[in-house]
Amino acid sequence: MPEALARAIRETADDIATLLSSTSHTTDPVPDSEWTVGEAAAHLALANELMADAAAGHERPYGDGTPQGLAAANAEALATFGQRDAQPLASMITEQADVFLDALERAARDESTTRPVVVTPLGPMDRHVLASYLLTHMLGHGYDLARALKRPHMIDRDRVGLCMPFMLAAMPRVADTAAIADLAARYTIRLRGGAAFGVSLGDGTVHVSPTALERPDCTILIEPVAFLLIALGRRHPWRAIGQGQVLAWGRKPWLAPRFPTLFTAP
């Protein structure tokens, strides 16, 4: 696993712990969410523990792999976990991030007896993608906590780049089957100043390429932080378009606003 990814996981966990340490008002609501600050922090603590178990090769059933199934599993987990105080949750978030990274390090040293693929709430992944998943998950909920507490969020261009292995792996798994059923289209998505990838849709399936497609129907150029926030359901696409964070061109540029509607945020 890239050292930059491990460092980003530690730093993001620390950033979230710092946010939580700044408040005692864990009953305050999280904007655009049904959760309070305490519930969002409890979810993060539980999720980091779940990811650490997955990194160690332990299978823990959690939902059915769909966004709806994950939401139901989240609600069930929160109902049986009563901790809502900021400081204990902050400690658990950072401790479980460290446990996760320790498990990955042990797996890397013992590749001959460790399964290269682990079971996660969104299906099988290798450990590099799992680490990217953990970072993405923490950034999404860290953003929510920052908004709730009126503090700066911790998402930046570099961390978005480290989220991309998970984002590319997850896209076919979170596609909206009704939205893609009758669509045949080829997209190239370019993160401004960063990587590009391709998405082909046809016959109700989604194929993701880690590189730009040749002769796509629509090319979308998007600011990286806006891309992640839209993909995680934290920002409306039209807001990003109105702020000049998204440009589109190609034979069918009108397909650009449709792209984020093809997926359900996990």
Q: What is the CATH number of the domain that holds 42?
A: 1.20.120.450
Structural domain of residue 23, as residue ranges?
A: 3-169
Are 59 and 191 found together in one domain? no
**CA angle (186, 205, 249) in 5-degree steps:** 15
Q: Using one digit for the tens of pLDDT, what is the confidence trace for 140-158? A: 999 999 999 999 999 999 9
Are 52 and 76 found together in one domain? yes
Residue 10, pLDDT > 60, answer yes
Quote the percentage of the chain above a pLDDT of 70. 98
Are 67 and 139 found together in one domain? yes
Exposure string over 196-216, b if 16+ CB within 10 A, otherwise e: bbbbbbeeeebebeeeebeeb
pTM, entire model: 0.95
User: Half-sphere exposure (CA, 13 Å, Cβ side) for 202?
Assistant: 8
The tally of domains found in the chain comes to: 2
Distance between CA 61 and CA 73 in Å, rounded? 9
DSSP 33: S
